Structure 1
């Protein structure tokens, strides 16, 4: 089963949800804020996706101190768990692979 991770008020997450519904792709939605995240999830995602997981353009990132940003360069997991909006959204978990961001062409390739 596909799982779409994000926050419910994110416009990009809403676009991904609309695309999945329009193309009749079964998925469940996991809201970072209300449903939470585990250390194991975030560590696994970071191991697989590396720097691509961290959204350095987010408002949350811009509000971090320089010390926090340096800490995130070494091991971002604790910072992400404390601030889940640092994850680039949406994060799509197909069960086999994870993808961040929403690109209609990429989703079309995945769900042919």
Structure 2
């Protein structure tokens, strides 16, 4: 069963959840606000998708970081630490798939991986 991490009010997360429900795919949703990810989890994500892909550099949370903090996002460990401390920095949704792989966002390739047309 895929595990979907995100925020309940995030449009991308809502779209993903709606598509999973519509396809009859069981999933677990983990809300960052209620259950922030730990270091082990964010490291798994950063290693799985890469630091550049994990961190959302276009959002409000990113703009609130100082230059030193933003520079950390270029390395796997730095990106993992930033997302652990600021979960809303992660591109959403973060999906942990049954095969152990991780994806971010909800584009055609993620839908295909989930078996959604």
Please report the TM-score for the alignment, with normalisation by the length of structure 1.
0.90
Cα shift at 1:108: 3.9
CA contact (8 A) 1:19 1:104 kept: no
Cα shift at 1:79: 1.7
Cα shift at 1:82: 1.2
**Distance in 2 of aligned mates of 1:109 and 1:82:** 29
Output the aligned Cα RMSD: 1.6
Cα shift at 1:95: 2.4
Partner residue in 1 for 2:95:
92
**Distance in 1 of aligned mates of 2:82 and 2:71:** 11
Partner residue in 2 for 1:47:
47
Unaligned runs of 5+ in 2: none
**Distance in 2 of aligned mates of 1:104 and 1:17:** 15
Cα shift at 1:28: 0.7
CA contact (8 A) 2:54 2:79 kept: no
Partner residue in 2 for 1:78:
81
Please report the TM-score for the alignment, with normalisation by the length of structure 2.
0.87
Count the aligned residue pairs: 112
Partner residue in 2 for 1:103:
107
**Higher relative contact order at CA 8 Å, sep ≥6: structure 1 or structure 2?**
1
Unaligned runs of 5+ in 1: none
Cα shift at 1:111: 1.4
